[in-house]
Structure 1
Amino acid sequence: MAAEDQAPRTKAHPDKAKKRKKPKKDKWGQPLASAAEEPSVEPGLELPAEGVEAAAQLDAPAAAAAEAGSYEPGKVVASGLPYTNTEEDIRKLFGFYGPLRSVQLSRFPDSGNFRGLVFVCFESDEDAVKSLDLDGFKIGSRHMRVERCRMTTASNRKRKAEFQTDPEKSEGCLSAYVGNLSWNVTEKDLRAFFKSSKIASIRFAIDKRTGGSRGFCHVDFQDDESLERAVAMNQSELQGRPVKVAYSVSNRG
C-alpha cells in the first residue's frame, strides 16, 4: 500500500527544535538593532541629532571659558626630572618651544637641592601648549611629566601660607632649626655663623644611607638671648645659601 511505502514521520524532539528568537524591542515596542549595530548608550537616553548639535554649541563656549580660566596663561609644570638638572639645562630644553619668561625650580626645604619639579613660564600661551609635547620625554632613566599649571585658588593660597608660617616658640625652648645648608657645612662653620650667640651643642641630621648631612641641623643655645639673636639671622647667607633659622618644634630640653 502507498501508505505502507511511505517512511514514518517523526516529530523533532522539543529540546532539539530550533527556537526562533523573538526580536528585542525597546520600551516603546520598537525593534532594536542587532548586536553588531547596538548603540553604545541605552535607547531613550540619546538626544536627537539636532539636540546633540545644539547642546554642543551651548556647552563649547562654557567649557572653553572654564578651561581658559582654570590654567595660568603661558605656564606649565614639569615633574620627574633628574635631581642633577640645572636651570640652564631646563631653559635649553623648554626654550626650544619659544621664549621663556621665567624658570622656577622647586627645592627641598632642608637641603635646598633641586627636587625634580619646575615651573616654566613662556612669553606666549601658544608656546606653553606646544611644550606639552615633552610629556613623557625621557631624560636619563626617568620619564618627565609636563602639564598645564592650574590657577591657585584662594583656599590653596591660604593653606600654603599656613604651611609656610614659622612655628611659634614653645615654653622653655632653647633650640633652633637651621636648614638649607650646603652639604659641606661643618660645626665650625656654624659656630662662626652664630658667633654672637652662645652655643651648647649642634646636632646634624645624618642620612642613614650615605652617612652624609641631610642639609639641616638643630642648634641648642645656652640662653634665651642667644636663641633670639640666632632666629633674627633667618635668611642670612652662609656659603652662598640663604639659611633658614626658626624655633625648633621639639625642644631637646
Structure 2
Amino acid sequence: MAAEDQAPRTEPRPDKAKKRKKPKKDKWGQPLSAASPEVEPSVEPAQEPPAKGVAPAAGAEAAAAPEGYEPSKVVASGLPYTTTEADIRKLFEFYGPLGSVQLSRFPDSGNFRGLAFVCFESDEDAVKSLELDGFKIGNRYMRVERCRVTASSNKKRKTEFQSDPEKSLGCLSAYVGNLSWNVTEKDLRDFFKSSKIASIRFAIDKSTGGSRGFCHVDFQDDESLEKAVAMNQSELQGRPVKVAYSVSNRG
C-alpha cells in the first residue's frame, strides 16, 4: 500500500487537559507553602496563621485607630469551648510578646465561654494579630478585633485613676478593681488572707452574665479593712489590683 494511503497519525487533542501533580498537603489538609510559619496550636486549625511580616488584612489599618479602642488589646470570640489559655497564647504569641490573656467564663459553671481578651506588650503587635480574624480552629471560625472602650470601662477608669475617695464614717467595705475576668471568690479570700472578710459582691454584666472586672468586699472589722486598702496595687493573677475605700452610693 502506498504511503499516501496509510491512515494519518493521530495528533493529541488540544482540549485534553494535562494531568497535574497533586500538591503536597499538611496534616490539616491544606497545601504546603514555603511562607507558612512553624506554629502548631494544640487546638488543631484547618489552616496556618499568616506569615509574620505580611501586610495586615484589608480593614486592619482602619481598625488600628487608637481612639475608641483599648491600647494593645484584642478580643477573640467564637472559640471552641475546649480551648485553653495555653492554646490561645501559643497562637497569638506568634505576633509578639503578650502581657496577659483573660478567658471569659460562665458564672454558674466556670467553664470557658469561647471569648478571650488578649493583651500585647505593644499596640503594633496587637494590630498585626488582626490577621487571625477568620482563622479556623476545629469546626469554628474565630473572630479577632480590637477591644472597644465601652461606657462602663470609661467609668471604671475614671473611678480608678482619680484620687482615692476618703473613708466615710462606719465604712467597712473596699472597692477592688482591675480584676481578671476569671478571678473567683476563693482567689480574693486568699489575696486578702490577713483580713477577716464578711462577704464579697461581684459586679455582673447583665448582658453577658460575666464579671465586669471589679467587686466590693465587706470586712468584719476596721483593722481588716485597713490591711486590705494597704494592699492597693498588689498583683493578683498578673494584674495590679486597685483597692480603695468603698463610697456609699456604690456600696
The normalised TM-score by structure 2 is 0.41
Greater helix fraction, Structure 1 or Structure 2: 1
* Greater gyration radius: 1
